[in-house]
């Protein structure tokens, strides 16, 4: 019985383990969304820019669609909220580029 419980997940549990709730993200080396990016690289904020909503200075991400800098899901979840409201799906953590 314990073996069955430990090796089987309900679909919601699997999504939680491998999705947004766990913080784990699958790395990709290409994405179809990249073609939609603006070639304007002159207005990229500094990597030390604070979150534009809460002014937190750590764990910030750059939205590659609109250039907003917002904090991660581990701080106040402003980038996650931004994605859910705008559909902007390409972000830069100044060390990783991810497609949400």
Residue 68 lies in a domain: yes
Torsion angle, alpha carbons of 62, 63, 66, 68, to 10: -50
Residue 39 lies in a domain: yes
pLDDT digits (tens, 9 = 90+) for 27-56: 677 778 877 777 777 788 988 899 999 999
Specify the higher pLDDT residue, 87 or 95: 87
User: What is the count of structural domains for the chain?
Assistant: 1
Residue 70 lies in a domain: yes
Q: Is pLDDT at 81 greater than 60 in this prediction?
A: yes
Specify the higher pLDDT residue, 43 or 17: 43
The CATH number of the domain holding residue 71 is 3.30.40.10
Listing DSSP states for 37-99 in one string gives S-S--TTPPPTTPPPTTT---SSEEEETTT--EEE-TTTT-HHHHHHHHH---EEE-SS-EEE
Domain span at residue 71?
30-99
Q: Is pLDDT at 14 greater than 50 in this prediction?
A: no
Residue 76 lies in a domain: yes
Residue 94 lies in a domain: yes
Residue 53 lies in a domain: yes
The pTM for the full model equals: 0.65
């Amino acid at each position: 019985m314990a073996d069955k419980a430990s090796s089987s997940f309900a679909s919601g549990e699997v999504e939680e383990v491998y999705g947004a709730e766990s913080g784990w993200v699958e790395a990709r080396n290409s994405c179809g969304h990249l073609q939609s990016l603006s070639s304007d690289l002159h207005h990229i904020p500094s990597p030390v820019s604070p979150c534009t909503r809460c002014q937190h200075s750590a764990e910030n991400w750059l939205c590659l669609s609109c250039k907003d800098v917002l904090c991660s899901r581990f701080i106040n979840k402003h980038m996650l909220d931004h994605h859910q409201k705008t559909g902007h799906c390409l972000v830069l953590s100044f060390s990783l580029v991810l497609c949400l």
